[in-house]
Protein backbone atom coordinates (compact mmCIF):
# COMPACT_ATOMS: atom_id res chain seq x y z
CA UNK A 1 0.00 0.00 0.00
CA UNK A 2 2.77 2.41 0.97
CA UNK A 3 4.76 1.44 -2.12
CA UNK A 4 1.75 2.05 -4.37
CA UNK A 5 1.11 5.43 -2.76
CA UNK A 6 4.79 6.35 -3.15
CA UNK A 7 4.62 5.36 -6.82
CA UNK A 8 1.64 7.63 -7.36
CA UNK A 9 3.38 10.50 -5.60
CA UNK A 10 6.53 10.10 -7.67
CA UNK A 11 4.90 9.55 -11.03
CA UNK A 12 1.68 11.48 -10.55
CA UNK A 13 -0.20 8.57 -12.15
CA UNK A 14 -2.24 5.97 -10.29
CA UNK A 15 -1.39 2.35 -11.14
CA UNK A 16 -3.80 0.61 -13.49
CA UNK A 17 -6.41 -1.63 -11.92
CA UNK A 18 -5.69 -5.31 -12.49
CA UNK A 19 -7.78 -6.80 -15.28
CA UNK A 20 -10.53 -9.11 -14.17
CA UNK A 21 -10.37 -12.18 -16.37
CA UNK A 22 -12.47 -15.27 -16.47
CA UNK A 23 -10.77 -18.57 -15.75
CA UNK A 24 -10.30 -20.42 -19.00
CA UNK A 25 -11.16 -24.11 -18.95
CA UNK A 26 -7.94 -26.07 -19.50
CA UNK A 27 -5.77 -22.94 -19.65
CA UNK A 28 -2.75 -24.89 -18.38
CA UNK A 29 -2.78 -26.85 -21.64
CA UNK A 30 -2.84 -23.73 -23.82
CA UNK A 31 -0.08 -21.48 -25.07
CA UNK A 32 -0.39 -17.80 -24.08
CA UNK A 33 -1.27 -16.95 -27.68
CA UNK A 34 -4.11 -19.50 -27.64
CA UNK A 35 -5.52 -18.00 -24.44
CA UNK A 36 -5.50 -14.49 -25.92
CA UNK A 37 -7.12 -15.71 -29.15
CA UNK A 38 -9.82 -17.46 -27.08
CA UNK A 39 -10.46 -14.27 -25.08
CA UNK A 40 -10.82 -12.25 -28.29
CA UNK A 41 -13.19 -14.84 -29.75
CA UNK A 42 -15.35 -14.74 -26.59
CA UNK A 43 -15.45 -10.93 -26.66
CA UNK A 44 -16.56 -10.93 -30.29
CA UNK A 45 -19.22 -13.57 -29.63
CA UNK A 46 -20.65 -11.69 -26.64
CA UNK A 47 -22.94 -9.74 -28.93
CA UNK A 48 -24.38 -12.86 -30.59
CA UNK A 49 -27.19 -14.94 -29.13
CA UNK A 50 -25.65 -18.13 -27.72
CA UNK A 51 -22.29 -17.41 -29.34
CA UNK A 52 -20.30 -17.55 -26.12
CA UNK A 53 -21.84 -20.86 -25.08
CA UNK A 54 -20.95 -22.50 -28.41
CA UNK A 55 -17.38 -21.23 -28.23
CA UNK A 56 -16.98 -22.38 -24.62
CA UNK A 57 -18.32 -25.87 -25.40
CA UNK A 58 -16.06 -26.19 -28.45
CA UNK A 59 -13.12 -25.10 -26.30
CA UNK A 60 -13.96 -27.64 -23.58
CA UNK A 61 -14.14 -30.51 -26.06
CA UNK A 62 -10.90 -29.51 -27.79
CA UNK A 63 -9.06 -29.32 -24.47
CA UNK A 64 -10.52 -32.60 -23.20
CA UNK A 65 -9.06 -34.26 -26.30
CA UNK A 66 -5.73 -32.51 -25.74
CA UNK A 67 -5.69 -33.67 -22.11
CA UNK A 68 -6.37 -37.29 -23.13
CA UNK A 69 -3.55 -37.18 -25.67
CA UNK A 70 -1.17 -35.89 -22.97
CA UNK A 71 -2.24 -38.46 -20.38
CA UNK A 72 -3.83 -35.99 -17.98
CA UNK A 73 -7.40 -35.20 -17.06
CA UNK A 74 -9.27 -31.95 -16.59
CA UNK A 75 -11.06 -31.71 -13.27
CA UNK A 76 -14.56 -30.30 -13.54
CA UNK A 77 -15.94 -27.70 -13.38
CA UNK A 78 -12.94 -25.43 -14.02
CA UNK A 79 -10.75 -27.70 -16.13
CA UNK A 80 -7.74 -27.75 -13.84
CA UNK A 81 -5.12 -30.28 -14.97
CA UNK A 82 -4.61 -33.36 -12.82
CA UNK A 83 -2.14 -36.13 -13.62
CA UNK A 84 -3.69 -39.57 -13.97
With contact defined as beta carbons under 8 Å apart, do 81 and 74 qualify?
Answer: yes
What is the mean pLDDT of the segment spanning 41-69?
90
pLDDT band with cut points at 50, 70 and 90 for residue 11: low
As a whole number of angstroms, the distance between CA 53 and CA 30 comes to: 19
Q: How far is CA 49 from the centre of its chain?
A: 21
Q: Long-range pairs for 45-52 at CB < 8 Å and ≥24 separation?
A: none
Give the residue with greater pLDDT, 6 vs 35.
Answer: 35
As a whole number of angstroms, the distance between CA 79 and CA 24 comes to: 8
pTM of the model: 0.67
pLDDT band with cut points at 50, 70 and 90 for residue 31: very high
Report the pLDDT value the prediction gives residue 6, as an integer from 0 to 100. 46
Report the pLDDT value the prediction gives residue 1, as an integer from 0 to 100. 46
As a whole number of angstroms, the distance between CA 31 and CA 34 comes to: 5
Amino acid sequence: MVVAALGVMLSGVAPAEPLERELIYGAELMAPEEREAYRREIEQAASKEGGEARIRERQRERLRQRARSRGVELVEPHGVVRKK
